[in-house]
Each structure stands twice: as C-alpha cells, then as structure tokens.
Amino acid sequence: MSITLRLAWRNLWRQPRRTWLTAGAMVFSNVLLIFLIALQLGTYQAMIDNTLSAFSGHLQVQQAGYKEKQRIRQVVPRIRDVAEDLRSGLGLNSIAARGEAFTLASSESRTYGVLIIGVEPEFEPRASRIPSLVSEGRFLDNPDAPEIVVGDILALNLKAQIGDELTILGSARDGSFAAAVVNIVGIFDSGVDELDRSLAQMPLEFFQETFAMEGAGHAVVINAPSLFEVEAVAEKAKSLLPGGQNLVVHDWNDLQPGLRQAIQADLIGSWFMYGILVILVMFSVLNTQLMSVLERTREFGIVMSLGLSSGRLGRLVLLETVLIGLIGLTLGVALGGIATSWFEAHGFTYPGMEEMASQFNIPDRFYPDLNAISLFAGPTVVFVGSVLAAMYPMARLHWLQPVQAMRSA
C-alpha cells in the first residue's frame, strides 16, 4: 500500500460523519438512478415489443407512397412470391404477406367502418401476435375460405358472435364495387384498443378475389430475430426485392413514428432529473473536499515547506475523493442492484397504472430491466462527476504559499 493511499484513507476517517454523509449522497443518487434507468429500459422494451409485435412488425415491404396515402391500387404485385423469396433469401419464417382495404362491415343489426387485412393463415401466426390472441373461436386456417376474425370491441359494436355472417362492402383495386359475405370464425383481444376496435382479418386469397387484387397485396411484414438485427435484415431484404416495381422497406420507426418519439420525449424529462441529481451530489463533494482542504491549510503548509510538491498533495486530495467515490459506487451498486432485482422479479404497480398501461401498450405491472447498462451507467456518471467536483479544491493547492499557510490559524 503506497503511502499516499494510506494517508488518503486515514484522512477520510478523521471526520467519519462527514465522509459518510458525502458517500451517503452518492449512495442515495446511485440507488435512485439504477432503479429509474432499469425501469425505463424495461418499460421501453415492453412498449416496443407490445406495439410492434401486435400488428405492424419490425419491417414492412410496401410500394413507395403506400404508407402515406394507403390507396388500394398502390400494390406489391405477386405478393406471395415476394414473401416466399424473402423467407428463403433471409432464412426467416417470421415473414407474411398482407392485403389491406377499408370497408363497411354490416352484421344483422350494426354497420361499422372496418380495416380488413388479408393474411396468409400459414405465416401470419409467426409474423404477429393477433393470431395467438384469438380469445374465442379459432384463427383462419384455409387460404381461400370466406372467413373472418374480428377484434373484440368491433364484435361487441357489431353485436356479432362466432358463426354470424358479416357483409363487407368496399371498392376493389380496379375501382369497381367489392362485396362479400363472410363467416366470423374467431374474435381476438390484442389489448390495443385501436386494433380491437377497427381491425378484421380474412384469408389473403379470398381477399385478393374479393378486391380484384390479381395476385397483388399491400405489405410484406418482416420480423427480425431481435430489435438489434432489424437494420441488417432491412438491408438484406432490400437487395432481395424484385426490381422496377418501386418497392421500399419501411422500418418500425417509419411505421410507428410516435413510438420512438414517445421514448425520446420521456428521455428528455428523465435526463433533466438525472442531471439535477448528479449536480447535487457534485455540490456535496465540492463542499466536503473544499472544507477538508481549508481546515488542513496549516498542515499542508508544513509538509510543503518540508519539500512535498503541491502536485503530490493534489494527488492526495484526488485520491481521497476517489476513495469516497468508490465507497459510494460500491454501496450504491450493491443496494441499488438488490432493490431493483427484487422489483425485477416481483414487478410493481401504482394506482391508475391500468389507464396508463393501455395508453402506452404496456402490461399492468412494471418490470425494471437490470443489466450492465442500468446497473453501472448512473453510478459511473456520479463517480466521474464527484471526481470533477474535487478539481477546484485541488487547484487551490497550487496557489498555496507554504509560509503564509503555516501562519494561518
């Protein structure tokens, strides 16, 4: 153990209360930062997963301009071949072709505007969660049967049940009148009100027949194995698209622009709060270290006149700060990690959580996500901030005149 380190350690315990109070400020901030950052990561992950996996997927292949205008004639031609090529080219099964049309759907007693999605019964269950969220009846299984599954709010609004017939009215791709009578075989409950209220799915081939699509569709949904691989998959998908048809690949940020921005808006507020916490810790460290330097003015004057350089003394003060910082870091990470992992296992909720949850597509309980980033990001910033705060007391040592210092009271 070097002499500077030993001196620094002893100096800390000349005023144990002060040292503990300073380290306490760090521990408090660290525990809070670990918990809040873990909570944010967990919530964002849930928001993204739930919103994307319910319906829109990570990526969609569409005709350029379809996303904005959503006109029925902006198509992806021979869409099932395109989807098949993408499946074999990307080596992924989580890819499905879709057709989309706005229609008027009438049950025996009610009529509502409905967005009808033509889906591939074989592949849709791997591309979105709606097929697995059928709460009554079954999902589609025949590619060209006149069958439909509808959202639970829509079913309620239509006063329709499994086995009932729905009449679909709309316009076909060529502008002609499109009409069909379909059987309700399933009702899904996705938990996203907007989808449950306005969405219905029917088999793609039957959809193509009804809307005179001539083999075309509107979107191929692609799900990457994880969020981190979306970009690579998108690049590869682009190279696999047939040329000359004006097709584009949209990523989830294009498809759900609100999602990323909601996260960013939330981050702005959080950064402000975290910044303030770190600044308050820095003030606390500055105060402690300045006091500890000032009360030792005489002592420092003596050792300097004995030949110790001000640089060496500066290192001593720095080391003292680093030691307090390490106490704060270790205890903060330990306590924060324990507290957060308890909540990670059990989750927590607060009154009113249900309304919030349905607005942001997250489950009714919060589950913080404790990982290397959430565990160390906050405490590291607090540590660095504390060391920076000690710069001013250190700098004062450079201006110290040994003789004057020895004479000071």
Partner 1 sequence: MTATAGIVFRLAWRNLWRNYRRTAIVLAAIVAGIWAMIFMIAFTRGMIESMVSDGIRSIPGHVQIHHPDFRNDPTVDNLMPSPGGELAAALGGEDVVAWSSRVRVPAVISSERGSRGVTLLGIDPVAEVPISFVADDIVEGRHLENERDRGLILGRRLLERIETDVGKRVVVMTQGTDNEVVDRGFRVVGVFESEIASTEEAFAFAGRAALQDLLAIGDQVSEIAVLGKNRREAEQLHRRLAETANAEVEVLPWYELNSYLGTTMRTMDGFVIVWIVVIFLALSFGFVNTLVMAVFERVREIGLMMALGMKPRTILAQIIAESLLLLAIGLAVGNILAWATIHLLSDGIDFSFVGEGLEIMGAASVLKPSLGIKDVLLSTAIVLGLGFVASLSPAIRASRYHPVAAITKE
Which C-beta is closer to partner 1: that of 2 or that of 109? 109
Query: Could you say which of 4, 7, 24, 323 contacts partner 1 (CB under 8 A)?
Result: 24
Contact 77, 241 (CB under 8 A): no
Query: Least distance from C-beta 17 to partner 1, angstroms?
Result: 6
Nearer to partner 1, 30 or 94 (CB): 30
In angstroms, rounded to a whole number, what is the distance separating the alpha carbons of residues 294 and 288?
10
Contact window for partner 1 (CB under 8 A) among 124-132, 143-151, 348-356, 370-378: 348-356
User: Number of residues in contact with partner 1, rule: CB under 8 A?
Assistant: 66
Binding of residue 64 to partner 1 (CB under 8 A):
no
Window 181-210: residues binding partner 1 (CB under 8 A):
198
Cα distance between residue 362 and residue 48, in whole Å: 9
Least Å distance, CB 112 to partner 1, is 5
Residue (60 or 289) nearer to partner 1, CB: 289
Of 352, 372, 403, 409, which lies in the binding site for partner 1, with binding defined by CB under 8 A? Answer: 352
Least Å distance between CB 380 and partner 1?
18
Distance CA 166, CA 158 (A): 9
228-231, Cβ contacts within 8 angstroms, sequence gap of 24 or more: 230/58, 230/59
Please give the single-letter amino acid code of residue 331. L
247 has which bridge partners? 63
According to CB under 8 A, which one of 1, 17, 372, 399 is a site residue for partner 1?
17
Q: Considering the complex, what minimum distance in angstroms separates the CB of residue 21 from partner 1?
A: 4
Cβ proximity to partner 1: between 194 and 235 the closer is 194
Q: Does 112 bind partner 1 (CB under 8 A)?
A: yes
Q: Which residue in 54, 61, 72, 324 binds partner 1 (CB under 8 A)?
A: 72
Smallest gap from Cβ 333 to partner 1, in A, equals 18
Map residues 231-270 to x or -, x wherever contact with partner 1 holds by CB under 8 A.
Answer: --------------------------xxxxxxxxxx-xx-
Verify binding: residue 365, partner 1, rule CB under 8 A. no
Least CB distance to partner 1 at residue 85 (A)? 30
Asked if residue 32 binds partner 1 (CB under 8 A), the reply is yes
Residue choice 57, 131, 146, 170 for contact with partner 1 (CB under 8 A): 170
Q: Are 273 and 91 in contact (CB under 8 A)?
A: no
**Interacting residue ranges for partner 1, rule: CB under 8 A:** 17-18, 21-22, 24-25, 28-29, 32, 69-72, 102, 104, 106, 108-115, 156-157, 159, 169-171, 198, 257-266, 268-269, 272-273, 276-277, 279-281, 283-284, 286-288, 290-291, 294, 350-352, 355-356, 358-360
